[in-house]
Amino acid sequence: MGSRPLAGVYAAALTPLKADFTPDIEILPEFLGFLADRDCHGALLMGTTGEGPSFSLRERTEIWQSACQVHHVHPDFHLLAGTGTPSLQETTALTRTAFNLGFDGAVILPPYYFRSATQEGLFRWFSEVIRKAVPSSKNILCYHIPQLTGVTLSIDLLMRLRDAFPDRCVGIKDSSGDPKFAKTLGEKLSSDFVVLTGNDKLFSTALESGASGCITASANLISPCLRKIWDSYEQGSQEIETQSWVRELRTKIDNFRSPPALYKFLLSHYFNFPRWPVRPPLLPLPQELEQKAISEIIINPELR
């Protein structure tokens, strides 16, 4: 694995649910084992794809406790926890819980309800979480997805957090999809900051700009391809053809609404997992779009 902490290919893991929308914690370790067997270095639990903001503190804790069972078979599989909420106290409590359970890192959204927060206010918010919840031996990644949160994490803010907490605030998950921002991250931060892209289409570009890996929804389905791109880059070469295929596939996926519902449908169709529902307010993939999804989003046989 890369020399930087948390480098590699991570799945933004789906959350298995029962018909009544409660977490199916019994099947979760099996699903994470599936991701480990398909070349993921680890997984993010309770991120955007995992519908994290839809779950209570108790539910998230139960999900994380169940996830830890993957280590019985895959001891080196890294677990990251999505702990961000608009509440400083709840985010602190969730982050502390994740580390107490043995998670390798926390991926923390900014307080997304407060869209007018200043960069100074965000620095103070993240600082409080880090001081109160993050042991010196553990790592957090700031989660940048302004198209959903309405909150932008500036380069200056990230540099300030890195300088203030160099042993704890070690990186960023960048899901902005902005090539210019990715390039600037690489130029100003990648030498001592872990940058994990959240956009499959930009994976090679991000690696070339200094990124350390990815955390993506598509890794639930095509992690061997993403690992091939990462391994090749680590060895000093490029996987142009594979990246081109990934880019085309992700473009087709982006044409559908409700990504968690689409990914859950495709995971069931191609890999025989149960057809997990999504929790309201998200809606399942409409039946009229199921055949369209199967005909357009084709997972190559060698990936199945």
Residues with catalytic function: 48, 113, 143, 173
- Residue whose C-alpha is closest to residue 19's, from 276, 286, 285: 276
Residue 1 CB neighbours (<10 A): 16
**Beta-carbon contacts of residue 244 (< 8 Å; ≥ 6 apart):** none
- Residue whose C-alpha is closest to residue 133's, from 88, 176, 197, 182: 88
Cα 238 from Cα 203, distance rounded (Å): 11
Beta strands 42-45 and 194-197 are unpaired
Cα 155 from Cα 153, distance rounded (Å): 7
**Beta-carbon contacts of residue 94 (< 8 Å; ≥ 6 apart):** 57, 60, 81, 83, 85, 106
